[in-house]
Amino acid sequence: MQTPVQIIKGQNISKNTGKKPAAVTDKIKRSDLMPFRYTSFNDYLREKFAARVYRVPIDAGFTCPNRDGTRASGGCTFCDDRGSGAPTIDQVLSVKEQLHTGIERIRRRFKAEKFLAYFQAFTNTYAPEAVLRSLYDVSLDHEDVVGICVGTRPDCLDDSVLELLAQYQQKTFVFLEVGLQSAHNKTLDLINRAHSKEEFFDAVERARKKNLAVATHLIFGLPGETRKDMMETVRQIANIGLTAIKIHQLCVYKHTPMAVDFAQGRLPLLEEDEYVLLVCDALEMLPPDMVVMRLVAEGTREEIIAPDWCFEKSRIMDKIDQELARRGTRQGSRFKPKN
């Protein structure tokens, strides 16, 4: 008779023998593994709010110091004219209208109960304090909105902005997303980020002193980066008190400087399986409780040129789960806490 198997948190081992049953791993579906192999954002929000909580992406009309000439012009070489905002955003609508239509769409589609206003497009702390206040206030003026997520750059987080966000945190949930992409200044220069890794680490440290929950974004497959470079970035951000992380593969968006490089054959892209292995390696190095917001960028053929596997998010997610199961590891398996 076959040994009964119970999936125990973080492992798939026999309750009776304590050994990993080889025949079983093949039969495990992603839905079985999802809660265990890494700490998902959905689970984090469900635990915090005891409800199905979804983010509603918003374009509040900000620009970016990397586009308007303050820091640089042209923007990051991967960023399109939506400023990394979601394709579902209708920029013509006011913040209030975007929020209300987004809530109804997401409520219908996902049976969502509560919402976070996600200031996603461009740099959402890049305006005078009074403007920020009025935009954040409008977004919170809805009975089912339980907080705000604010995406920004490290150079747009001076102490007064952090103090403002800390004040909002007294009355609502605040989640700050600070883009990094790579912890190598040579790469940041190459992709025209127009900020340094030192500015990122300084901003995160000051935000943490205000007890703000901070997430960051990394991109794997940036030009010139090796596996070692990418893992070094992961190592550097693993111990700085981040609450959450998003990891994306490099996708080439239409109408970007990278689209030109790609068309001219100057931009090699990661293969799908290469990316899966990188993500698994990264997850193992991250703290077990760091919330994983995203592991694969998704988009449509209307906006993305390459790679083709960008359009197969669920297949990539399955492969990540299967690879972790094959290794018998999970998020945090190789995490080294700072002494």
Binding mask 167-206 for ligand SF4 (x = CB under 6 A): ------------x---------------------------
* Least distance between ligand SF4 and beta carbon 66 (Å): 4
Assess 230 for contact with ligand SF4 (CB under 6 A): no
Binding mask 113-152 for ligand SF4 (x = CB under 6 A): ---------xx-----------------------------
Binding mask 13-52 for ligand SF4 (x = CB under 6 A): ----------------------------------------
Residue placing its CB nearer to ligand SF4 in the complex, 45 or 194? 194
Residue placing its CB nearer to ligand SF4 in the complex, 193 or 319? 193
Sites for ligand SF4 among residues 256-295 (CB under 6 A) = none
- Contact pick of 83, 221, 307, 332 for ligand SF4 (by CB under 6 A): 83
69, with CB counted inside 10 A (0-12, 13-18, 19+), is: exposed
* Least distance between ligand SF4 and beta carbon 68 (Å): 10
Of the candidates 239, 103, 132, 244, which has an alpha carbon nearest to the alpha carbon of residue 183? 239
Tokens of 315: 């297949």
Instruction: For residues 238 and 336, give the distance between their C-alpha atoms in angstroms, rounded to a whole number.
Output: 8
Residues in contact with ligand SF4, total (CB under 6 A)? 12
* Least distance between ligand SF4 and beta carbon 290 (Å): 22
Of the candidates 273, 227, 226, 270, which has an alpha carbon nearest to the alpha carbon of residue 249? 270
Residue placing its CB nearer to ligand SF4 in the complex, 83 or 221? 83
Scanning 217-307, the segments in alpha helix (DSSP H) are 227-237, 257-263, 272-285
* Least distance between ligand SF4 and beta carbon 187 (Å): 13
The string of DSSP letters for 138-206 reads HHH-STTEEEEEEEE-GGG--HHHHHHHHHHHHHSEEEEEEEEE-S-HHHHHHTT--S-HHHHHHHHHH
Q: In this structure, are residues 39 and 99 in contact, taking their beta carbons and an 8 Å threshold?
A: no
Sites for ligand SF4 among residues 61-80 (CB under 6 A) = 64, 66-67, 75-76, 79
Instruction: For residues 34 and 68, give the distance between their C-alpha atoms in angstroms, rounded to a whole number.
Output: 41
Assess 250 for contact with ligand SF4 (CB under 6 A): no
Q: Which residue has the tokens 């007890």?
A: 211
Q: Which residue has the tokens 């609508």?
A: 93
Residue placing its CB nearer to ligand SF4 in the complex, 178 or 282? 178
Assess 84 for contact with ligand SF4 (CB under 6 A): yes
* Least distance between ligand SF4 and beta carbon 73 (Å): 10
- Contact pick of 37, 114, 153, 246 for ligand SF4 (by CB under 6 A): 153
Instruction: For residues 273 and 270, give the distance between their C-alpha atoms in angstroms, rounded to a whole number.
Output: 8
Sheet of 244-249: strand order equals 53-58, 114-119, 145-152, 173-181, 213-220, 244-249, 291-294
Residue placing its CB nearer to ligand SF4 in the complex, 153 or 319? 153
Q: Is 35 helix (H, G, I), strand (E, B) or coil?
A: helix
Residues that bind ligand SF4 (CB under 6 A): 64, 66-67, 75-76, 79, 83-84, 122-123, 153, 179
